[in-house]
Amino acid sequence: MTEQNNSWTGISIKNGVILGSIVGILGVIIQMFTDPTSQSMGQVGISLLFALVGFGLSLYFNYASVKTYRDELNGGWVTLGRAFLIGLLMYFVADMVSSLFSFIYFSFLMPESTKEAMQALAEQSREAMEEAGSPEFLINMSERAMGTILNPITVFVAPFIYLIWNALKAVIMAAVMKKDQPIVAA
């Protein structure tokens, strides 16, 4: 008996959309109520809390995706490879959905606030680099890089950048969740 393809992609996509929506909405809420130019302990604490909540949610949804496939659709077993693919696809979809929320927020809901915040960050960065004695070409390169942050292409390339981190989480969860196919005596 071989592992069946009982819509593992459907489970991954569904859970990825849910996770991406939750993280995207939380991200927009945090952006609305925080000042991205502030480096106060409160801002850092909120960012850290958000990162921990996002990490916990991502692990939970990875676990739920693999468990649903293994226990409900595949007779109680899943290979390491299939568990890995379930998690990786789920993470990729979640990152794309979350990026969509960010793009909509930055481009359509709060474009002026976003531009002002980016200008303030660019000024702070320039001042810090000048104080540190950075060469002019490096300062200019930094400013150009900051200018691409809100570019739609950059927003949707982010999930590919997270691919290695997500692959690491997916393979760890796959190793924990894998369960060998039962051997049936003939």
Which has the higher per-residue pLDDT, 114 or 91? 91
pTM of the model: 0.77
Which of 59-68, 88-97, 133-142, 146-155 shows the lowest per-residue confidence on average (mean pLDDT)? 146-155
> In a 10 Å sphere around its CB, with 0-12 CB exposed, 13-18 middle and 19+ buried, how is residue 68 labelled?
middle
Which has the higher per-residue pLDDT, 137 or 17? 17
